[in-house]
Structures are given as C-alpha cells and as structure tokens.
Amino acid sequence: MIAEAGHFALVLALFVALVQAVVPMYGAHRGNALWMSMDKPAAVSQVLLVAFSFGCLTYSHVVSDFSVLNVVQNSHSLKPMLYKVAGVWGNHEGSLLLWVFILAAFGSAVALFGGNLPPSLRARVLGVQALIAVGFYLFLLLTSNPFERVFPAALDGRDLNPLLQDPGLAFHPPFLYLGYVGFSMAFSFAIAALIEGRVDAAWARWVRPWTLAAWSFLTIGIALGSWWAYYELGWGGWWFWDPVENASFMPWLAGTALLHSAIVVEKRDTMKAWTIFLAILAFSMSLLGTFLVRSGVLTSVHAFATDPERGVFILILLLIVIGGSLALFAMRGPALRSTGVFKPISREGGLLLNNLVMSTGCAVVLLGTLYPLFLDAIGGSKISVGPPFFNSVFIPLMVPMFMAMGFGPLLSWKRADLVQAALRLKTAFIAAALVVAAALAVTGGGPFMAILGLGLAGWLFASTLVELGARIKLFKEPLGASLGRLLRQPRASWGMTLAHLGMAITIAGMAGAGGWKVESVQVMKPGETVNVAGYDFTFTGARQAQGPNYSIIEGTFKVTKDGRDVVTLKAEKRNYPVRQMPTTEAAIYSMISGDLYAVIGDPDGNEGGFVTRIYFNPLIVWMWAGALIMVFGGVISISDRRYRIGAPARRAKKTAMAAHP
Amino acid sequence: MKRKHKRLTFVGLALLLIALAAGLILSAFEESIVFFHSPTDIVEKQISPSQRLRLGGLVEEGSVERKADAVVTFRVTDMANSVNVTYRGILPDLFREGQGVVAEGTFAAGVFSADEVLAKHDENYMPPEVADALKKSGKWDEMSDKMKRQGMESTK
C-alpha cells in the first residue's frame, strides 16, 4: 500500500509539474499576474509530493518490504540501518527519485525565498524548472519505476552492492546530485533571462548564490567520491580520469567558470551572453554526466550494470535540453547588450582568462571522454584514452592559470598595471622559490611536474595572502586599524580568499601524492617486515572475524619508524555472502606528511603468507583538506549580506517593460 | 582601445589557448592512446612488444594460478582463442573465473604482461569491449544466455 501511495504521488507530481511548466510561463508572456502567481503553490505542492514519494521508498527500504522489487534487489534484512537508508539512492531507480526530489526542492526554494524576484522572472524560472522535472518524471515512470512490486514477495533481499555499503559512498551521491541539479537553477535563470531578453546586475546577484551552492555541493561530492575510491578500492589512487569521474569533473569546470563570470556581470555589466552560455553549459554537462553514468556506453571502472533503453531515453532528453537551450541562445543571445568596457589587463581580463582556461579544460576532458565513443561509432578501432592523455594535456593548461590566479585579485577593474601588481607580489615569488628549494632539499629531487606543482601551490597560497594583506592595508596602517578592516571584510571576499587558499592546499596535495608515492607489493608471512618510505611495516598475522552481514579476514601491521612505534594498522578483506562478493578495506593512518596505507590480499601458499600492498602517499590529506576549505569559502560567500538582503530593486521603468514585452 | 579591438584581443587569446590545447592533444595522442584487442586480435596480429594495449575477454575457467612473489597467471579468452596473462599484485575484488575482465599492459613472446587489471563495481557489469569481443568471435549468444540467466536470478 505504501509503495502504491508513493507511485501515485509521483504521478501527481508529474501533473503538477506540467501545470507549473505551462500556466506561469503563459501568464508571464501575457502579463497576467494571477496566472504567474500559480508558480509558488505549484512548486511547493510538487516538492511535497516528491518528498512523500521519496519517504515511501525510504520506508519500504527501512522496514525491508520484500514485496517491492527495488528493495529485493538492493537490500537485505541483515543490512545495517545506515545502509538500508543509503540503499534508497544506491541504485538506479532510487537515485533518480533523489534527483527529482532535489530538483523539486531547489524549485520550491526559489518559490519560498524568491520574494524579491520580479514575478515574471520567477514565473519563468519555475516554469523552466518544471519543464526539466517533467522530463525526469517521465523517465522515472516510464523506464525506472522504483515502486514496482514482485509477486510472490521474496523471503529476503539480494543485498546492496557491498562496495556501496560504506559511509563515504552513502553520502557521495546526494552531494553529487545536489551539485548537478543545483546547476539547473543557473540554467533556469539563464533560460528565463533569454526569454525576457534582459540580463543585468540584479540578475547576476540572484543567480550567484544558487551557483555557489551547486558548486560547493559538487566540490564535496567529487571530494567524497575521490576519497572513497582512495580507501575502498585499495589501489592507493584517488583520481583515474575515468569516464565516470570526468562526468562529474566537467560540470565542475564549467560551474567554476560560471561562478567567476557572474561576478563580472554583477559588477561591470559585461560578458552577459558568455555567462548565459556558461550557465547552459554547466547544466548540459551535468545532464551529460548523468547520461554517461546511467547508460553504460563507456568502459568505466566505476560502472554498474545498466539498461540500454534507459540510456536512449536520457540521450533524447539531453538532446532536447541542450539543443533547445542553445537554439534559444542563438536567437536571443546577440540581443544582450553589454555596457562595461575594459582593457585586457584588468580584473575582468583576469576573470575572462579563468573562463577561457576552464572552458578549454572542460573541452579537453570532454574530447578525451567521448573520443573513444566517437571513434567506435564511426567504425574505427576500439581505444581507451587514459590518464597519460589527460595528465599531459590538462595539467599544462592549468599551470598558466594558477600563475595568473595570483595576479587576478590584485588587478583593479577596467584597467590595471601588471608591473605594479608584480611588485606587490614579490613576497609571493620569494615564497614560491622557498617552497621549491625546500621540496628539493627534503626529497632530493623528484618529478618536474610535482616540484612545479608545489611551487605553484606556494605561489598561490602566498599571493592570496598578499592580496588579503593589501585589502586590509596591513603594515600601511596601524595594526589595530588593519585588524578592524579584516573583521569588516565582506563575506564574499572571505569566500574568494578561502577558496583560493583551499585550491593552493589541494594543488600541494596532488603534487605530493602524484610525485612521491611509494608502492610496495609483496607476499608477507607473519613476522616479516617491509620498509616503505622509511617506515617499517611488520605483518603480525591475520585472523577471521564476523561483521553484521559479512565475514572478515583482518591482517594486522605494526608500523615503526627508527624503532619507535607509530601505529598499528588493521586492513580487512570482507566477504559478503549474499552477493558472493569480496571488498577491500584499506587500513589508513593519516599524517600531515602523508598517509600510511596497507591492503591485505589473497592468501599465498600454505605457510600463512598473504599478498600485501603497502603505500606511502605523501601530503594526500592536503587534497581533501583543501577541498573542504574551498567548500567553506563557497558557503561563507553564499551567506554574504548582499545576497541575503536581496538585490536593489530594478528600476521601475525596466520592470514595467518586462511586464509588457 | 576600442570595443572591437578588445574583442579581437580576447578572440586571439582564446584561439591561442585552443591552439595550445590542440598541440598538446596531438602530441599526447600518439603515446597515450591505448588500443583495445580481443584475444583473437592478439593471436592474429603482429604486436610490437613496446606497444601498450588493452586486452579484454573472459577469464578462462580453471586457468588462474598463484605463483611465488605475488604473481598471478591466468588465461583470457573470447571462446575462440586464449592469451596467457601474467600480473603481479592484488587482483580486483570482482576478478573471477568465467567473468569479463579488461587488462592493460604489453604483449611479448606469447605472454601478456598486465600492469593493471581493471576492477568493476558490480558483478553483473560486462565492459562493452568484452561484449564486443565475444560477439566478434561468435560466442556472444551462449554467453548472453548465461548473463540473461544471471539477470533473471537477480530480479526474481
């Protein structure tokens, strides 16, 4: 009964979305206030219906209702409660239900908190949101109904894929989806603006918090996914340039560009068409990501069994959304007038450089990801484009941008003096040189790119601090006055400073882990010791144990350095009997200087030996710490006063024109 | 500077970036693209020992042997031909006899030395290349029947 109620609520939500897509849009077109005002009740009732539907599926999972197919396929009565809940979105149908739930939630947030939006803009934004939602409701109901029953009911379930029974992955999909779907807001605002034919500072101010929120969620989602791959797959790696990873990285690149270009629209009233284009691009990349992950067209290490019919449906949806929005952009985009002018060396110029590099990077990742598919489609050879390609193309593109990133915030709007900025940054030059010298001294030399990466990280970190110092007039005024300025900095500036500092720390982590990783694979018998990066790992033996729905082989490693105890690592190999599937639980001890990482593999021979894999991953925690700082910067920036108070009212004349186009 | 000049500067910059990216892509393509081969391809074609490639097929039943020093050998088959593979390290969790596998490495003197065996996340997942290799060797139908049976089990 519960499942049928959930299904019914979903069907109702589809019809509400249809109404929301048509009535307020038409009302905005005719200037009919009553019709426009339909947007709010529609958006709110839509989210309530989807929330109810999502609640029904969650309930079925929590009580293990094995008459629901989705529960049978993805749950088991012995599964811990956390994974019974996480199992709701740990499968295709449930994850799409989560997708539309988030979509509806974003829409209702605009309806509830968008009181300061002009009614016509709000009606159109919510109309576009509802159109996207209609596509996904149809997709769910026609190809992926999560509420399908089985008769007779199963005695027990098939369990959730054990790799997903993990705290990191329990929360990875919701964050990723909050990011993907969050870009639908920027998209809806962009389409609404194209329909209205106007983009101005107020528009940029309304869009920015949504973009920031989406970007922050996506950053967390990607970081969580990478962290999960790092400790759960037991390869010691954190990024494989795999199609599924690229699928989440492309919207991030486009979204980062959008975040920066929206600043220019807000402050300088220029780069409008470009910003609209980026908003369309960011969401298109999110949809493309969904398609790549859900269709199984590409070989991926992260792929799950898929259904081709569903892939076709998303592909059609993708073509309609991207084709339609780009066609609208081609028709209306040229009419957007920019008033601000600026010289190439200026804050605008710096932000545009960021945009160009980010979009080129996005194009490179897109090319590398889709090229094998394209070649296969035209009947060429089967190939794979792997990490060497991305590393040798993507990284060199990013190097000049990170260099420019130090200068950008110090340049003034309209026109700036590069020499003067360079003089102010001499401390940062010195800091970068010191970091490189220190890295060479400590490691005795390493890969060129890694040394360069550490230098860039030092440069970016120091130049961001220099910029903060310049803003608060440090050492130019009494310290007290500077401190006062520091406290009065707008939160958006803090956001920028934190995000750039976080990026610097992340780069340092990537350079360290990429350049100086130490790996050692061997067979170890109890009592044997291996030295990895100066740490002695002694294998003290393995024992068997039992978890809630799995059995364990647990290997213990005692780690010492120069005779002193460091830590005891317990690496597990788990076996989930329901799916007959083993998983690897790496034992990790994180230090600021790097991670000690041990994995136990299969037994070898009959003398109690095991294949073991031991890593030292230098600076790797910096990567995730940096990502967290970036996200923190994003959150601080969203809370900036000028977004909370709302944008200054548009001039009355313009509003009047908007009502009667 | 006039608006037109400003625009030209940026168009120039964008073109420069694209040219840079294109240059990097072309230089990287030569060495970093890995071709996919089925066991039959490997047996029939002349393969240079320095060329990196991907081999995909099924792990032949009963062929997995664990040797000293963490070395594992197994045979990859498309049901028409088989190739000996050697790998040192820990195999992915879902590596199983009779199931699809993709390995990356080099082929020399009749042995494929893999330095990477790709893992997958789901026991029902079949890499598209492996499915294609089986279709080419004409053994797809019997395999897909088996896969379908597994699929049936998973839904009933």
Low-confidence ranges of chain A (pLDDT < 50): 646-661
Question: A357 near A289, Cβ under 8 Å?
Answer: no
Exposed e or buried b per residue across A67-97, where buried means at least 16 C-beta atoms within 10 angstroms of its C-beta: ebbbbbbbbbeebeeebbebbbbbbbbbbbb
Give the pLDDT confidence score for residue B141 in this predicted structure: 66
Of B71, B106, B105, nearest in space to B89 by CA: B71
Spell out the long-range contacts of A332-339 with Cβ–Cβ below 8 A and sequence spacing 24 or more: A332/A194, A332/A195, A332/A197, A333/A194, A333/A273, A333/A276, A333/A277, A334/A273, A335/A197, A336/A197, A336/A198, A336/A199, A336/A272, A336/A273, A336/A276, A337/A272, A338/A269, A338/A270, A338/A271, A338/A272, A338/A273, A339/A269, A339/A270
Collapsing DSSP states into helix, strand and coil, what is residue A594?
A: strand
Tell me phi and psi for residue A203, to 5 degrees. -60, -45
Residues 6+ apart with CB under 8 A from B40: B78, B80, B81, B133, B136, B137
Structure tokens at A459: 């440069």
In the chain, the amino acid numbered A436 is V
How many other CB atoms sit within 10 Å of the CB of residue B43? 15
Q: How far apart are CA A541 and CA A609, in angstroms?
A: 9
Structure tokens at A485: 């300025």
Exposed e or buried b per residue across A568-593, where buried means at least 16 C-beta atoms within 10 angstroms of its C-beta: ebebbbbbbebbebbbbbbbbbeeee
Contact B33 A383 (CB under 8 A): yes
Contact A363 B21 (CB under 8 A): yes
Lowest mean pLDDT segment, chosen from A398-402, B1-5, B67-71: B1-5
Give the pLDDT confidence score for residue B130 in this predicted structure: 77
Contact B125 A363 (CB under 8 A): no
Contact B70 A521 (CB under 8 A): yes
Per DSSP, chain B holds a count of helices (H) and strands (E) of: 4, 7
Cis status, amide bond into A152, omega within 30 of 0 = yes
Q: How far apart are CA B109 and CA B100, in angstroms?
A: 24
Alpha-carbon distances, residue A50 vs A16, A55, A57, A102, A137 (angstroms): 11, 8, 11, 9, 10
Question: A487 near A468, Cβ under 8 Å?
Answer: no
Q: How far apart are CA A149 and CA A137, in angstroms?
A: 19
Identify all chain A residues contacting B91, using CB atoms and an 8 Å cutoff: 601-602
Q: What is the pTM of this model?
A: 0.90
Rg (CA), chain B: 22
How many A-B residue pairs are in contact by the CB < 8 A criterion? 141
Residue B151 has pLDDT above 80, yes or no: no
Disruptive mutation site among B5, B20, B122 for chain A (greatest number of A CBs within 10 Å): B122
Interface of B with A in 115-144 (CB under 8 A): 118-129, 132
Q: How far apart are CA A263 and CA A275, in angstroms?
A: 10
Say whether residue B47 is in contact with chain A using an 8 A CB cutoff: no
Give the pLDDT confidence score for residue B84 in this predicted structure: 93
Give the pLDDT confidence score for residue A129 in this predicted structure: 94
Bridge partners of residue A594, in order along the sequence: A591, A618
Give the pLDDT confidence score for residue A636 in this predicted structure: 93
Give the pLDDT confidence score for residue B2 in this predicted structure: 55
Identify all chain A residues contacting B156, using CB atoms and an 8 Å cutoff: 150
Alpha-carbon distances, residue A480 vs A24, A377, A466, A475, A487 (angstroms): 54, 66, 18, 10, 11
Give the pLDDT confidence score for residue A605 in this predicted structure: 67
Identify all chain B residues contacting A163, using CB atoms and an 8 Å cutoff: 93, 121
Q: How far apart are CA A176 and CA A218, in angstroms?
A: 5
Say whether residue B45 is in contact with chain A using an 8 A CB cutoff: no
